[in-house]
Amino acid sequence: MAQAMDILLILAVMIAISGYLVWTILNIRQRRLKFAADGGDQYKGEAKEPEALMKPDEEALEQMGELLEQAGLSLPEEG
């Protein structure tokens, strides 16, 4: 009998925790939807300094070459 009561208690605690988690997730979702509806979600996807991306430095080019090699691609050597 005591074992059944323990199981019921554990079950009740797990249901309460699950309910709280669902409630928390729904509240977060509601806040995000309200934030987006109020115009807070104005992501444009533009670089802050696009000019800096036009001329990559040597280190960036070397890293890109290494990544391409890891992916199985190779560029012809300049010579």
- Please give the Cα distance from 7 to 73 (Å, whole number): 58
CA–chain centroid gap for 4, Å, is 42
Contact 75, 68 (CB under 8 A): yes
Q: pTM for this structure?
A: 0.48
- Please give the Cα distance from 79 to 59 (Å, whole number): 19
Q: If pLDDT is split at 50, 70 and 90, which confidence band does 57 have?
A: confident
Which of the two residues, 50 and 44, has the higher pLDDT score? Answer: 50
Tokens of 1: 């009998």
DSSP 48: S
Q: Identify the pLDDT of residue 41.
A: 66
Q: Identify the pLDDT of residue 2.
A: 80
